[in-house]
Structure 1
Amino acid sequence: MPNFTLPRPARLTRTHKVSAALVATAGCAAALAFTAAPSDAETTAAHAPAAVKPVSANGLPMTAKDRADDGKQARAVASSVAAGLKGSTVEKQNHAADQAANRSVERKALVAPKAAPKAPKAPKATPKRYANNLDGWIRESLDIMKAKGIPGSYEGLHRNIMRESSGNPNAVNNWDINAINGVPSKGLLQVIQPTFDAYHVAGTPNKLTDPIANITAAANYAADRYGSIDNVDSAY
C-alpha cells in the first residue's frame, strides 16, 4: 500500500487571523441587520437569530488569547490613526502660523519707513546795527574798509573828522581854493566831488554828503596817497 503523506496545514499568521476575523464579523453583522428587521407584526423573539460567536482565522471559535491579540491589534491601529490625525492638526497649525508670520513680514515691508526729521535751519544772521551818529558812522565805515582792504583806525578817522567838519556831515567850505574853482569841499572829511567820484567805495551810497560814503571815499584816497588816513594830520 503506497505511503501517502497528508499535506501540512498552512500556518496562519496573526495578520491572517485578524483579516479573517474582520471578514467573519462583517458577515455576521450583515446577517444580523437583515434578520433584525421584522417582516410583519407576528415576528417574535423565537424567530430571532442565535447569537453569533466570533471565530478565528481558521473558522474555529476564538480563544481568549485570540481575542486579546485582536484587541491589541485594534488598539494599535486606532493609536496609529489618532497619531496621524494629531500630526495633521499640528502640521496645519504650524502652516497657519507660518502664513501669519509671512503676512506680518509683508505688511512691515509695505509700510514706508518714516523719514528722518529735517535738521533745523540755521537762523539767519541778524544784520549788524549802527547808531545814526558820528560814532555809528565811523564804526560802520571801519567794517566796510576792513572788508575792502582799506587801512585806517577809529582814532585816525575821528581825529581828521573833528578837524575838517567838527562832525557835521553837511559842512561845506565856501572860501578855499576849491570853492574858488567851483568845487567846494563837503561832508565829514571835506571831500571834493572829483575825488569822491574817483575813490567812491562800491556798496555805499553814491552821494558826496552821505556820512558812510564820504568817510570811506576819503579813507580810500588817503590810503592811496599817504598810506592810511591815520597818517593825515592836516589838509590833504
Structure 2
Amino acid sequence: MRSTVSGHTALSKAHKFSAAGLVTVAGAAALTFALVPQASAADAHSMSVKTVSLSAQEFGVTQDGELAKAADDAAGQAQVKAAAAVKAEAKAKADAERASRSTERKTLKPAAKPAPAKPAAKAAAAPVKKAYADNLDGWISESLDILRAKGIPASYDGIKRNIMRESTGNPQAINDWDVNAVNGVPSKGLLQIIDPTFKAYHVEGTSWNIYDPVANITASCNYAADKYGSMDNVNSAY
C-alpha cells in the first residue's frame, strides 16, 4: 500500500521490492541495452574483418586468376613462338636442301647419253659389171667403154676395120715373118702390137696379157691416139 511520509509518498516494502525489481529489471535492461550495441559493434567489426578478409581472398583469387591467365597467355605465346621457331627452322632447312640440290644439279653435268648406234653402213653394192659377149663385138664394146672413161678417142668402126686387116679377128694371131719378128719382137694379138709398145701404152684396169683381146685393143688404141690422133686415122700398118 502507499503511505505518505513527510509529504512524500512512502513505498511499502512490497513496493520497494517491486521498485528494486524494476530497478533491477531496468538495470538489466540497461545492461542489455549497453551490451547489445557493444555486441553489435563487435559483430560489425567481425563482419567487417570477415568482409575485408573475404574481399582480400576474392582479390587474391582474382589476382591469382589474372596471374594464372597471364601465365597461360605467356606460356601460349611461348609455345606459339617455339612452334614458329621450329617451323622457321624446318623451312630454312628445306630451303637449304633445295638450294644444295639446285647447286648440285648446276655443278654436276648430266651423264652423257650414249650416242645412238649408227646403223651399220650398207656394204657398197659392187658395181654391176656390164655383160659383154665373148666375141669380137663384145671385146670392142668393152674396150670402147674403158677408152671413153680414160678420155682416149676411138670408134667402133675404126677399131673393127683395123682388127680385120691386122688379124682377121683372131686374138692369138702372131706375125713371125715381118721386120719386127726378125728383130725378135713379133707383133701379137688382134691389133698386132709388139710387147714394148703394149707395156708402154697399157691402160690401167685391163690385163697385162698381150693376148687378152680387151687389153690388146685398148693399148693399141692408146698408142694410135698418141701417134695418129685416133685409131680411126690408121688405115695401114702402124
Q: TM-score range by the shorter chain?
A: 0.5 to 0.7
Question: Which runs of structure 2 are paired with 1:14-163 in the superposition (5 Å)?
Answer: 62=63, 64-100=65-101, 109=109, 111-115=111-115, 117-118=117-118, 121=121, 123-124=123-124, 126-127=126-127, 129-130=129-130, 131=132, 133=134, 134-163=136-165
**Partner residue, 1:230:** 232
Report the alpha carbon displacement of residue 139 of structure 1 after superposing the two structures with TM.
3.8
Report the alpha carbon displacement of residue 235 of structure 1 after superposing the two structures with TM.
4.0
Residues 73 and 192 from structure 1, CA distance in 2 versus in 1: closer, same or farther, beyond 3 angstroms? closer
Unaligned runs of 5+ in 2: 1-56
Residues 198 and 91 from structure 1, CA distance in 2 versus in 1: closer, same or farther, beyond 3 angstroms? closer
Counterparts of 1:99 and 1:154, CA distance in 2: 84
**Partner residue, 2:212:** 210
Residues 124 and 55 from structure 1, CA distance in 2 versus in 1: closer, same or farther, beyond 3 angstroms? farther
Counterparts of 1:120 and 1:155, CA distance in 2: 48
**Residue from 166, 169, 176 that aligns with 1:167:** 169
Counterparts of 1:169 and 1:70, CA distance in 2: 129
Report the alpha carbon displacement of residue 156 of structure 1 after superposing the two structures with TM.
2.4
Indicate the SS of the match to 1:109: coil
Q: Could you list the per-position Cα deviations for residues 144-188 of structure 1 after superposition, in whole angstroms to 9, with x for gaps in the alignment?
A: 434544221233223332443343211234566655776543211
Report the alpha carbon displacement of residue 87 of structure 1 after superposing the two structures with TM.
1.8
Unaligned runs of 5+ in 1: 1-53
Residues 122 and 142 from structure 1, CA distance in 2 versus in 1: closer, same or farther, beyond 3 angstroms? farther
TM-score (norm 1): 0.56
TM-score (norm 2): 0.55
Report the alpha carbon displacement of residue 215 of structure 1 after superposing the two structures with TM.
0.9
Counterparts of 1:89 and 1:182, CA distance in 2: 110
Q: Could you list the per-position Cα deviations for residues 40-82 of structure 1 after superposition, in whole angstroms to 9, with x for gaps in the alignment?
A: xxxxxxxxxxxxxx999xx996165554444333322221111
Q: Cα RMSD over matched residues?
A: 4.0
- The percent of aligned pairs where both chains have the same amino acid is 48
Report the alpha carbon displacement of residue 228 of structure 1 after superposing the two structures with TM.
0.3
Residues 192 and 92 from structure 1, CA distance in 2 versus in 1: closer, same or farther, beyond 3 angstroms? closer
Counterparts of 2:163 and 2:128, CA distance in 1: 23
Report the alpha carbon displacement of residue 219 of structure 1 after superposing the two structures with TM.
0.8
Indicate the SS of the match to 2:78: helix
Residues 158 and 65 from structure 1, CA distance in 2 versus in 1: closer, same or farther, beyond 3 angstroms? same
Larger fraction in helix = 2
Amino acid at match of 2:209: K
Indicate the SS of the match to 2:75: helix
